[in-house]
Amino acid sequence: MLNQGIGSWPTRRARKTPDRVAVIHEDRAWTYREFHQRVLRLAHGLQDVGVVRGDRIAYLGPNHPSFLETLFAAGLLGAVFVPLNNRLTAPELAYNLSDSGSTVLIHAPEQACAARAAADEAGVRHRITLDGSHEGALGYEEVLAGGGTDPLDEPVAPDDPCMIMYTSGTTGRPKGAVLSHANVVWNSVNVLVDTDLGGDEVTLVAAPLFHTAGLNMTCLPTLLKGGRVVLLTAFDATRVLETIENLRVTYMFGVPTMYDAMAAQPRWSTTDLSSLRTLNCGGAPVPARTIATYLARGLAFSQGYGMTEASPGILFLDKEQTSAKAGSAGVPHFFTDTRMVLPDGLDAGPGQRGEILVQGPHVMTGYWNRPEETEAVFADGGWLRTGDVARTDTDGYAYIVDRAKDMFVSGGENVYPAEVEEAVLSHPAVAECAVIGVPDQTWGEVGRAVVVLGPGAHADEPGILDHLHGKLAKYKIPKSVVLTDSLPRTATGKIVKSAVRASYANTPADDPHR
């Protein structure tokens, strides 16, 4: 085949295991033969509306088979897939669409209003809706029905761009990490080697597919291996437990908050979990109490550390080491190399703290249309600078100890303070602002805005938080506001975040309900 990218996977799987079940969603199942036919029809339909090689095709919606169909159809055409976070507001979506230059937006009915507004602002040529045509949009099933079934084999090279996954940065503006087909393939190979997935795998995907972990650490490796993927539209702890029992799920990924919610359900102790072989956890360190709760049911976590720019797997802790290396993120994935580097550029020794650098065939090719930022994030020899700090023990196991960047993780979602601070500063009464992450029993961390009001200005916590609704996704909005007279600054005027944390992050934030 001329297509050496992941767009060829449905074709290859259909000729190898056509009658195996590929995808299950809402009590419907598709074999690899049926899945391949739908991908092929969608690719022809996208061609019919003018999609050509290199075009960007965006997708907005919860977990659904059409997400995967769009990804693979884009790969068949040599186009680039752009998954969008369905928790973003219309202005945030418009920025991602405009920055990527997406020409087509496929979206679920739940996101119709935001999709329409964002697409109009970004100048997207075609909107395609999953529930049928709307004013100014095409219907997804109609596009498939009109698509042909002739074989497609566009020349796609391993180093061609496969997807653009947006990840916010400390500048406050999202950056599009460009993952090549080779990046995605090698990450999948790492997962297959280190997680030992089988062709009989039944993988539950309850984490959002627009996240690199939900897509690249669970779903795609399973499809590559020829297992079946069970898609839940969204995470629901009770539904997850029922699905594990009823469909004999063998593998799933989640963040600690998800696993804690499952263990808190009344039916936790009675659900049959005997089919589970692998529980992968990431997004934040797994608390000791969570590890103990699952070990009591005979279940051990495979833990890991990664980032979007690495497709995302970097470090991996096998489940056999869950107790012996509690708190560790593990060792590098099989085809991955890491270094812990001191500020002077020398490698850190055991016990020393150093920035994590990563190298491997799964590391992104760069940031979309951002050559200067791409150059800045790669150290000498092509090592990707993660901005995270870790120490290693004498066995080489890494422990994440700090973040060189200000980013914090809330319920598995990365929150970047600069973006939030920019929104808070748009309040007319706010003169200065610093956003930090503070401990929270449910979400791990939540945001706290430390605010200085302008001279003679008046504002309170509810008013400032209300100002942010519609400007930021809900998970980015701080859960508390502290008013203060001044913020600690360096001699050059830069806010000293470490001093802000020391003064204002000592106690947990009030229990938020998102």
Distance, in Å, from the CA atom of 510 to the CA atom of 195, rounded to the nearest integer, reads 38
Say which CATH number the domain at 31 has.
3.40.50.980
Angle at which helix 65-77 crosses helix 9-16, to 10 degrees, equals 110
Give the number of other Cβ atoms within 10 Å of residue 266's Cβ: 8
Q: Evaluate whether 451 touches 423 at the Cβ level (below 8 Å).
A: no
- The answer to whether position 454 is within a domain reads yes
- The answer to whether position 420 is within a domain reads yes
Measured in whole angstroms, the distance separating CA 377 from the mean position of its chain's CA atoms is: 19
Domain count for the chain, please give it.
2
**pTM (2 decimals)?**
0.86
Confidence at residue 403, expressed as pLDDT on a 0 to 100 scale: 66
Q: Distances in Å between the alpha carbon of 316 and those of 184, 312, 321, 328?
A: 17, 11, 10, 9
Last residue of a domain, one of 156, 188, 216: 156
* Sequence-ordered list of residues with C-beta below 8 angstroms from that of 339, at least 6 positions apart, any chain: 347, 354, 356, 357, 383
Q: Evaluate whether 80 touches 57 at the Cβ level (below 8 Å).
A: yes
Last residue of a domain, one of 156, 190, 207: 156
- The answer to whether position 419 is within a domain reads yes
Q: Evaluate whether 37 touches 23 at the Cβ level (below 8 Å).
A: no
Confidence at residue 168, expressed as pLDDT on a 0 to 100 scale: 64
Q: 83 forms bridges with which residues in the sheet? A: 59
Q: Considering only CA atoms, which of 383, 371, 384 is closest in space to residue 309?
A: 384
* DSSP helix/strand/coil, 83: strand
Residue 335: exposure state from Cβ atoms within 10 A (0-12, 13-18, ≥19) = middle
Give the number of other Cβ atoms within 10 Å of residue 511's Cβ: 11
* DSSP helix/strand/coil, 439: strand
Q: Distances in Å between the alpha carbon of 205 and those of 82, 208, 230, 248?
A: 19, 8, 6, 13
Confidence at residue 514, expressed as pLDDT on a 0 to 100 scale: 40
Domain region containing 469:
408-504
- The answer to whether position 385 is within a domain reads no
Measured in whole angstroms, the distance separating CA 118 from the mean position of its chain's CA atoms is: 21
Computed on alpha carbons and rounded to an integer, the radius of gyration of the chain in Å comes to 23
Amino acid at 163: M
Measured in whole angstroms, the distance separating CA 124 from the mean position of its chain's CA atoms is: 24
Determine the Cα angle at 188 with ends 182 and 193, to 5°: 125
In this structure, the strands spanning 480-483 and 444-453 are parallel
- The answer to whether position 140 is within a domain reads yes
Confidence at residue 507, expressed as pLDDT on a 0 to 100 scale: 58
- CA atoms within 13 Å, Cβ hemisphere of 48: 16
Residue 230: exposure state from Cβ atoms within 10 A (0-12, 13-18, ≥19) = buried
The H or E element containing residue 9 is helix 9-16
The H helix count followed by the E strand count for the chain is 16, 27
- The answer to whether position 249 is within a domain reads no
Q: 399 forms bridges with which residues in the sheet? A: 391
Confidence at residue 416, expressed as pLDDT on a 0 to 100 scale: 78
26-30 CB contacts, 8 Å cutoff, 24+ apart: 26/233, 29/228, 30/65
Q: Distances in Å between the alpha carbon of 130 and those of 133, 142, 348, 428?
A: 8, 10, 51, 40
Say which CATH number the domain at 464 has.
3.30.300.30
* One pLDDT digit (tens) per residue for the chain, 514 residues: 999 999 999 999 999 999 999 999 999 999 999 999 999 999 999 999 999 999 999 999 999 999 999 999 999 999 999 999 998 999 999 999 999 999 999 999 999 999 999 999 999 999 999 998 777 899 999 999 999 999 999 999 999 999 999 986 545 689 999 999 999 999 999 999 999 999 999 999 999 999 999 999 999 999 999 999 999 999 999 999 999 999 999 999 998 889 989 999 999 999 999 999 999 998 777 888 889 999 999 999 999 999 999 999 999 999 999 889 988 999 999 999 999 999 889 999 999 989 999 999 999 999 999 999 999 999 887 999 999 889 999 999 999 876 666 778 898 887 878 789 889 989 999 988 999 999 998 898 999 999 999 999 999 999 999 999 999 999 999 999 999 999 997 654 568 888 898 899 875 544 443 4
Confidence at residue 484, expressed as pLDDT on a 0 to 100 scale: 94
Confidence at residue 511, expressed as pLDDT on a 0 to 100 scale: 40
Distance, in Å, from the CA atom of 107 to the CA atom of 116, rounded to the nearest integer, reads 9
Q: Distances in Å between the alpha carbon of 87 and those of 112, 258, 513?
A: 13, 17, 16
Last residue of a domain, one of 156, 178, 207: 156
Q: Distances in Å between the alpha carbon of 358 and those of 147, 176, 216, 332, 349?
A: 42, 19, 18, 9, 16
- The answer to whether position 310 is within a domain reads no
- The answer to whether position 168 is within a domain reads no
Distance, in Å, from the CA atom of 252 to the CA atom of 388, rounded to the nearest integer, reads 26
Q: Considering only CA atoms, which of 476, 342, 480 is closest in space to residue 411?
A: 476
